Amino acid sequence: MKQHSFRKILVTALAVFMILGNLGIEARAAETDSQTGSGNVVFAPRLEAPAMDNKYYYDGEYNLFEKFGFGMPNCTAYAYGRAYEILVTAYGEKVGAPKLSRYNACTFYTYNIENNCYEYGSTPRLGAIACWSGHGAGHVAVVEQINDDGTVLISEASSSKKVHYRTKTIKGDGSDYASGYSFQGYVYLLPEQVTVTDPIGDPETDDDYSGYDPEDDLAIVSVSYRTHVQSKGWLDFVEDGEMAGTTGEKKRLEGIEIKVSGNDKVGIRYTTHVQTYGWQPWSMDGEMSGTEGEAKRLEAIRIELTGQDKDLYDVCYRVHAETYGWMGWVKNGEPAGTAGYAKRLEGIEILVIKKGKTPPERSDQMTEEGYCAAETDTDVYQAGVNYKTHVQTYGWKPWSGNGIKSGTEGEAKRMEAVSIKLMNQPVSGSVEYLSHVQTYGWESEWNEDGAISGTEGEAKRLEAIRIRLTGEMEENYDIYYRVHVQSFGWMDWAANGEPAGSAGYAKRLEAIEIVLVEKGSPAPGNTSVPFKDATEE
């Protein structure tokens, strides 16, 4: 009896377990169906313009394009808002934001493929995003109806005609949308089989494209940037208003690299105020500004756009400064940070928005001002000197300035050429320089204001250099410079046309530092032995 009872209990338990297991499988399948779209997925065609208070289209908390100044009636902002609306209607609020590109329309299709976000293809589905390349930024629209003859009704917006909503009937293969466009395909937000409910509003068509210039749609410019942080080194790139650096760790920013994408007619340049050295020469399009390995803090930064389309956008930025916290937004070359207080920058946020738009409000902002300078500080306008060197195997190094090293140490690399120019000079005059080149000796003529001194492509080392000022600059300033020489290391400082380096030793220059000081000010260091001449020993 005991064995028989035990078998009955065991069989019953197994049966219950199998039933529960099947129920679990069915429950998981139902959950999967609700997420992937198979099952009773609802689609409501939009046949009228969204209301101005529709959060999916006009609220920056929901629409990324609105958030960054490229909102309605840009086609990308409309497609993003419509996608959000479609997904929430089908799956509920828990589905979250659309996984779509936040850049130009021409990137929507490739972004989806590269990031494996949604299904895609060349035949239309209800609720799909139709994608075109062409005319620089491309175009996107949304499939609202599929007709019996194979045509589709799309809804879209157009910034060029200031139209927040319109519909148009096109071929299912997207080939007849407008001149100059190439159809890429559809991004499928929903499964092929959906339940269509009553449309949102009545049809509002606008098929008159006679005055439509697609190139009037402003391309979206994205900015990416990374920072070199005390004890951490280079951090990963972030983009479009995200924070680079740290807060709450008391870590100084030491360097930064910034670049933009999305519009080939826009570039970016930037300069940083570095501890001890002051404002540095402008860096451009991904070059480093600041220092590495010198334990020097960044104290302020200026950023501005360049290129043919620069006046169509604003570059906005704010910094987290020691004791000040997050400061206010500044834009288009204005300084951000502090001067004269010896305060480190710790973090930075940067974004590019459409001209005249307002950057997003931040609840963590501690000061209205984006820049604070001591009353006696005039360093934003202080005269300085910029220079760059052509180095063996590396070619031209980025611009340095105001005492920051250009070249290398410990790599046995020769300097082959140098270029020098003045920055923020308050009076007339120029900078001239002359190099002693392997085989050739001293150059026969002085070079000035950014011209190249030395050689390129000849594998000839620089052995010495002379630098001087002219005009009113000579009357008001002294220029000091020192060089790092093979075997000798750093030489002492030379000034105002004196030679720095060596002659007769066949020793290469490896690095240089140059500073500009007011006439009669103390030298930046020892001036005893800036130059060695073998003929004098």
**For the segment 209-231, what is each residue's pLDDT rounded down to a tens digit?**
433 444 445 778 889 999 999 99
Query: Chain-wide mean pLDDT for the chain?
Result: 87
- The pairing of strands 415-423 and 139-146 is unpaired
User: What is the structure's pLDDT at 122?
Assistant: 96
Task: Please check the confidence at residue 185 and state whether its pLDDT lies above 90.
Answer: yes
Where does the pLDDT of residue 201 fall: very low under 50, low under 70, confident under 90, or very high at 90 and above? Answer: low
C-alpha–C-alpha distance, residues 120 and 66, integer Å: 26
Radius of gyration for the chain, computed over Cα atoms and rounded to the nearest angstrom: 32
User: What is the structure's pLDDT at 207?
Assistant: 43
User: What is the structure's pLDDT at 341?
Assistant: 87
Note the pLDDT tens digit of each residue in 55-103. Answer: 999 998 899 888 877 888 889 999 999 999 999 999 999 999 999 998 8
Task: Please check the confidence at residue 410 and state whether its pLDDT lies above 60.
Answer: yes
User: What is the structure's pLDDT at 3?
Assistant: 47
What would the two tokens of residue 91 be? Answer: 């799956």
Note the pLDDT tens digit of each residue in 446-460. Answer: 999 999 999 999 999
Where are any strands of DSSP class E within 291-430? 298-306, 313-321, 325-326, 330-331, 336-339, 345-354, 371-373, 384-391, 395-396, 400-401, 406-407, 415-423
User: What is the structure's pLDDT at 70?
Assistant: 83
User: What is the structure's pLDDT at 382?
Assistant: 66
Where does the pLDDT of residue 340 fall: very low under 50, low under 70, confident under 90, or very high at 90 and above? Answer: confident
Phi and psi at residue 166, to the nearest 5°:
-165, 165
C-alpha–C-alpha distance, residues 81 and 58, integer Å: 8
Higher pLDDT, 8 or 229: 229
- The pairing of strands 477-485 and 509-518 is antiparallel
Residue in the structure block whose two tokens are 């334990």: 295
35-44, 245-254, 505-514 — which is least confidently predicted?
Answer: 35-44
Where does the pLDDT of residue 37 fall: very low under 50, low under 70, confident under 90, or very high at 90 and above? Answer: very low
**Percent of the chain scoring above 90 in pLDDT:** 65
Task: Please check the confidence at residue 9 and state whether its pLDDT lies above 80.
Answer: no
C-alpha–C-alpha distance, residues 268 and 146, integer Å: 44
Task: Please check the confidence at residue 272 and state whether its pLDDT lies above 90.
Answer: yes
Where does the pLDDT of residue 159 fall: very low under 50, low under 70, confident under 90, or very high at 90 and above? Answer: low
In this structure, whether the domain defined by 42-216 belongs to CATH 3.90.1720.10 is answered with yes
Task: Please check the confidence at residue 263 and state whether its pLDDT lies above 90.
Answer: no
Domain residue spans in the chain?
Answer: 42-216, 222-379, 383-536
User: What is the structure's pLDDT at 343?
Assistant: 95
Residue type at 57?
A: Y
Task: Please check the confidence at residue 205 and state whether its pLDDT lies above 70.
Answer: no
C-alpha–C-alpha distance, residues 459 and 480, integer Å: 27
What would the two tokens of residue 3 be? Answer: 């064995």
C-alpha–C-alpha distance, residues 311 and 218, integer Å: 12
Report the pLDDT averaged over residues 506-517. Answer: 96
Report the pLDDT averaged over residues 327-344. Answer: 92
User: What is the structure's pLDDT at 34?
Assistant: 39
94-103, 341-350, 354-363, 375-384 — which is least confidently predicted?
Answer: 375-384
Task: Please check the confidence at residue 485 and state whether its pLDDT lies above 80.
Answer: yes
Note the pLDDT tens digit of each residue in 113-157. Answer: 999 999 999 999 999 999 999 877 889 999 999 999 999 999 998
Torsion angle of alpha carbons 275, 280, 282, 283, nearest 10°?
-60
- Report yes or no: 385 and 423 within 8 Å, Cβ to Cβ: yes
Residue type at 364?
A: D
Higher pLDDT, 32 or 237: 237
Residue in the structure block whose two tokens are 């000035």: 448
Where does the pLDDT of residue 162 fall: very low under 50, low under 70, confident under 90, or very high at 90 and above? Answer: low
Report the pLDDT averaged over residues 235-243. Answer: 92
